[in-house]
């Protein structure tokens, strides 16, 4: 079990609101959330089933060892289930990921709603070992399975006016109890510029360690944008729209001074409440120096040529 102060790992407003409802000042919604947490915490995380998790390599391209399947599936951020790192694994086990559809539309010539099975059939699934760097200054190395978002976007033919891509998570407060908490503007929304979305590194992940994604990791399909802070990698996607104006993400809407649209990993730009110069690799004792663009600068720095990355954080 990993122990770190909750003030480090939780956005301040959530930390404060958790203290508030611990002090008995919870709203009805917060009470329902707390009750749901209480019920679910009775049952331990489901043991992995099926064949042993496999990855083709033991390290990433920098030589950093992969995090274990156990670490990746039990230390999560998925606020629709819980704001505790161990919460999503306990609470998401019954999450219904089939049938599942992803509606792709907006400024495209061929809008299409894809059934999950068709996405898996139509687009070859490949393994990608990526570092995931959370804005809270922890990180992991994860062997995803998935396909480049660019393949899906090409299939729907974006129009020339499309400048951004907007992603939306499922909205279903019955299944996603965190959505009963009125603090956040649900559903979770994220966005990318079209050129970022078309970059080959930008992955739609459908699995990890050779298995289908677990619900806590964003089943059945989530984004993995390895050079950006983890919150850009939106989970359990149901809608993808090509749009002409910059989408407002859930984090921009709730804390605009803390979370920008670009959110490129940058050791030289501190978060207002902590430094981003180093990170804690889950499962390790020491800290790693945080790398510009999370170590993917050679691939992606050119996307931002001429931009002030301190202003466009
Ligand atoms: N819908 C949704 N997507 C989300 C989040 C979330 O709370 N809800 N958390 C984000 C954050 S902050 C991180 S660090 C990553 C964590 O992914 P993991 O739990 O698979 O490691 O998911 C991102 N995607
Ligand atoms: Mo994160």
- Decide: 123 in ligand 1 pocket, CB within 6 A: no
Dmax (CA) of the chain: 54
Q: Which atom of ligand 1 is nearest to the CA of 187?
A: 1
Q: Which atom of ligand 1 is nearest to the CA of 142?
A: 21
Which domains, from first to last, does the chain contain?
Answer: 6-304 (3.90.420.10)
pLDDT in tens, 86-144: 999 999 999 999 999 999 999 999 999 999 999 999 999 999 999 999 999 999 999 99
- Decide: 166 in ligand 1 pocket, CB within 6 A: no
Write down the residue that tokens 């289908």 correspond to: 212
pLDDT in tens, 227-264: 999 999 999 999 999 999 999 999 999 999 999 999 99
Record the pTM: 0.87
Q: Is 243 exposed, middle or buried (0-12, 13-18, 19+ CB in 10 A)?
A: middle
Which region, left, alpha or beta, applies to residue 236 given φ > 0 means left and ψ of -120 to 50 means alpha?
left
Residue 3 in tokens: 């122990």
- Decide: 132 in ligand 1 pocket, CB within 6 A: yes
Ligand nearest to the CA of 136: 2
The CA 257 to ligand 1 mean position distance, Å, reads 20
Which residues have a beta carbon within 5 Å of ligand 2, which is an ion? 77, 134, 230-231
Q: Tell me the mean pLDDT in the region 60-86.
A: 98
């Amino acid at each position: 079990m990993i122990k770190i102060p909750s003030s480090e790992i939780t956005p301040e407003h959530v930390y404060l609101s958790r203290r508030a409802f611990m002090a008995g000042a919870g709203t009805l919604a917060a009470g329902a959330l707390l009750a749901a947490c209480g019920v679910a915490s009775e049952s331990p995380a489901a043991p992995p089933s099926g064949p042993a998790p496999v990855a083709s390599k033991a390290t990433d391209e920098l030589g950093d060892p992969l995090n274990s399947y156990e670490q990746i599936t039990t230390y999560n951020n998925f606020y629709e289930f819980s704001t505790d790192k161990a919460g999503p694994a306990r609470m998401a086990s019954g999450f219904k990921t089939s049938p599942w559809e992803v509606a792709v539309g907006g400024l495209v010539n061929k809008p299409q709603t894809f059934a999950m099975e068709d996405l898996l059939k139509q687009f070859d699934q490949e393994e990608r070992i990526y570092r995931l760097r959370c804005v809270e200054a922890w990180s992991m190395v994860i062997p995803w399975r998935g396909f480049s978002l660019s393949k899906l976007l090409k299939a729907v033919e974006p129009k020339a006016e499309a400048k951004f891509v907007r992603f939306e998570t499922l909205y279903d407060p019955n299944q996603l109890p965190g959505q009963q908490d009125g603090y956040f503007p649900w559903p979770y929304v994220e966005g990318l510029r079209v050129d970022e979305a078309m970059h080959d590194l930008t992955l739609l992940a459908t699995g990890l360690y050779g298995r289908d994604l677990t619900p806590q990791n964003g089943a059945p399909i989530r984004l993995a944008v390895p050079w950006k802070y983890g919150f850009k990698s939106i989970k359990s996607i149901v809608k993808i729209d090509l749009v002409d104006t910059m989408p407002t993400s859930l984090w921009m809407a709730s804390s605009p001074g803390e979370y920008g649209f670009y959110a490129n990993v940058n050791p030289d730009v501190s978060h207002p409440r902590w430094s981003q110069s180093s990170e804690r690799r889950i499962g390790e004792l020491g800290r790693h120096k945080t790398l510009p663009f999370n170590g993917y600068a050679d691939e992606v720095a050119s996307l931002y040529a001429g931009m002030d990355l301190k202003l466009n954080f």
